[in-house]
Amino acid sequence: QNEYLLFLEADFKMDVSLSLDEIQSQLLAATGMLERGAEVVRLLSRKDQGCGTFKDCDHHGIHLLAENPGDRTRNWFAFYCRDHPHTGSSVADCLRVPDFRCFSSWDSNWTLNAVLVKKSSMLQKKYPLGTGPDKSIAEIGLQQFMQQDGFESVMIGSQPSWMTWRLPLCISYEGLFIQEEIETAT
pLDDT tens digits for 49-84?
Answer: 544 455 556 555 555 566 665 565 445 555 666 666
Question: What does 19-39 look like in DSSP terms, one character per residue?
Answer: -HHHHHHHHHHHHHHHHTT-S
pTM to 2 decimal places: 0.83
- Going along the chain, which residue ranges are E strands? 4-7, 12-14, 40-42, 44-49, 92-96, 99-104, 115-118, 168-172, 177-179
> What's the pLDDT tens digit per position in 87-136?
667 778 888 889 898 888 877 777 778 899 999 999 999 999 888 899 99
